[in-house]
Amino acid sequence: MNAYDLSGAAAFRQAAQPRSVTDQRRAQYTNESVLSATPAQLVTMLYDRLLLDLHRAEAAQVSTDWDAARDQLLHAQAIVGELSSTLRIDAWDGGEGLLAIYNYASTSLITANVHRDVQATRDCVRILEPLRQAWHDAAAAMPAAPAVIGQHAGGALGVA
């Protein structure tokens, strides 16, 4: 049973327009990876990009590169929003608790961005990294079956 309804996968459709041949190739590879991924693999891909965004945001905050920090935090917010909106809380007992964690993370990301609060970013890493690892463990334990995903193009994963 999948805890996420990824049929819409709105975050996957938010792909930035590739600016170079390398970006176009990376976007094509990402799109192909998304199309061939299982639902569990899609969730792990989102978590991987989410943690990458958070680490990049933290580094930008520490170096006072507020534009870069803002961009990374906004992308992280989009991913948390996608994870929240596709979560099927009725599919398992932990659904409501996971939604509460996503709501907390979303609020913390806004705080991190508005108040330039590196500790709020670090708090998100602290609470989301164990979830990322748990999803990776769960995905590895599941039999491989291709996802049946509607319209999506890898946007939440980005291309950089």
Helix (H) or strand (E) holding 11: none
pLDDT beyond 60 at 79: yes
Question: Domains of the chain by range and CATH?
Answer: 10-157 (1.20.120.340)
pLDDT digits (tens, 9 = 90+) for 117-137: 999 999 999 999 999 999 999
Please tell me the distance from the alpha carbon of residue 27 to that of residue 20, in angstroms, as a whole number: 10
Write out pLDDT tens, residues 39-77: 888 999 999 999 999 999 999 999 999 999 999 999 999
CA angle 72/73/77 to nearest 5° reads: 120
Judge whether residue 5 has pLDDT over 90.
Answer: no
Average pLDDT over the chain reads 83
Q: Are 16 and 52 in contact (CB under 8 A)?
A: no
Taking 50 as the threshold, does the pLDDT of residue 15 lie above it? no
**Band of pLDDT at residue 116, cut at 50, 70 and 90:** very high
Reported as a single tens digit per residue, the pLDDT across 87-104 is 999 988 999 999 999 999
pLDDT at 135: 93
Q: Residue 61 has what pLDDT?
A: 98
Residue 85's pLDDT band, with cuts at 50, 70 and 90, is very high
